[in-house]
Amino acid sequence: MVLAAPPPGGALVGLTALADWRFGGRIARALTRAPVAEGETLLLAGGPALPVARVVVARPGPRLLDALVERLRGLEPAGAVGLCPDDFGLGLKGVRRALGGLPLLIFVGDPRPSTEASA
């Protein structure tokens, strides 16, 4: 799962806020200890509260898609990559283009999943 980090001192929103709630505040605490700079990523382990193998938290910025592609290719995800493009201010087409070889699980608005395999 890929989540958006807020700017320093900013509140978690969207899918990130929901995931943090499910993780009992673990994402917010990790970001307080190790803020994520623009275009960087933070890797967290998944858990039973949110059944995903890994959580990548990324800060929107000019290098965002490059950083995500680099991090995700290095992880070699076994399943679909879940993210909400709106949380990053990205369009679905840009995400599909950047992550073209990976199956995507796209969350839109109220986080109810919509499965899409990228082609």
- pLDDT score of 117: 46
Q: Above 80 in pLDDT, residue 83?
A: yes
Select from 116, 111, 114, 115 the least CA-distant residue to 20.
111
Residue carrying the six token digits 């290095």: 74
- pLDDT score of 114: 46
Each domain of the chain, given as residue ranges in start order, spans: 2-116
* Pairing state between β 112-116 and 50-58: unpaired
H/E element, 55: strand 50-58
Res. 109 pLDDT band, cuts 50 70 90: low
Mean pLDDT of 51-74: 82
Q: Above 80 in pLDDT, residue 54?
A: yes
Mean pLDDT of 11-22: 90
- pLDDT score of 26: 92
Class for the domain spanning 2-116: alpha beta
Mean pLDDT of the chain: 80
Select from 114, 94, 115, 91 the least CA-distant residue to 103.
115
